[in-house]
Chain A
Amino acid sequence: NAGVTQTPKFRVLKTGQSMTLLCAQDMNHEYMYWYRQDPGMGLRLIHYSVGEGTTAKGEVPDGYNVSRLKKQNFLLGLESAAPSQTSVYFCASSYTAFQETQYFGPGTRLLVL
């Protein structure tokens, strides 16, 4: 039981490049989330999904897109990276509603030059 895994662990992009972050969970959770963590600001929700085939915007969705084609996977895409997207990205999942305990992945550190 690996829990929540994220790929890659670290990435450097140039402004304008695109990339996809992969999140996978093996706990059969319905809800999945993408957060970003910036120094002194806590975590902020980017997008979330309440089940396979569904996605919704969170607090800071601009510049990101997501897809949930399979229940166990949640992808976060950056179409045209900007320096403001330099951050640590965390994926999380929970069995049902948002209000239940969320299980977090180890994070992806992204640097946009």
Chain B
Amino acid sequence: KQEVTQIPAALSVPEGENLVLNCSFTDSAIYNLQWFRQDPGKGLTSLLLIQSSQREQTSGRLNASLDKSSGRSTLYIAASQPGDSATYLCAVTPPNDYKLSFGAGTTVTVRA
């Protein structure tokens, strides 16, 4: 069974600092990995999707890397802003199954 872990569960940084969020998974046989953002009381918004054949994806200040062999993905957020405060979740998709496996998330607070 795929297990997805995100450590730490919470993170607080001053504005302007770069954020590094970690996601690890136990089964390297994945189809893709996604990073989501969740604001309090809201649904999830997809940030980046990395196919298993890719090493990284970038969107603006966000960059996500994937090391499938070691079962790790990292989300980098450059020059953090208070508006980046949210919970960030990663999810992996197996190659021949329907089920997204989610991590429990990392809650980020960016202090002004």
Contact = CB atoms under 8 A, between A and B. Distances in A.
Given A42-B4, A42-B105, A102 B100 contact: yes
B45 interface: yes
A104 B44 contact: yes
Given A40-B104, A42-B102, A42-B103, A99 B45 contact: no
Interface in A26-70: 40-45, 48, 56, 58-59
A4 B43 contact: yes
Contact of A48 (B44, B89, B98, B101): B98
Q: How large is the interface on B (under 10, 10 to 19, 20 to 34, 35 or more residues)?
A: 20 to 34
Interface residues of A, number: 22
29 contacts: A41-B104, A42-B89, A42-B101, A42-B103, A43-B89, A43-B91, A44-B102, A45-B98, A45-B99, A45-B100, A56-B98, A58-B98, A92-B44, A98-B97, A98-B99, A98-B100, A99-B32, A101-B46, A102-B44, A102-B46, A103-B46, A104-B43, A104-B44, A105-B43, A106-B41, A106-B43, A107-B41, A107-B42, A107-B43
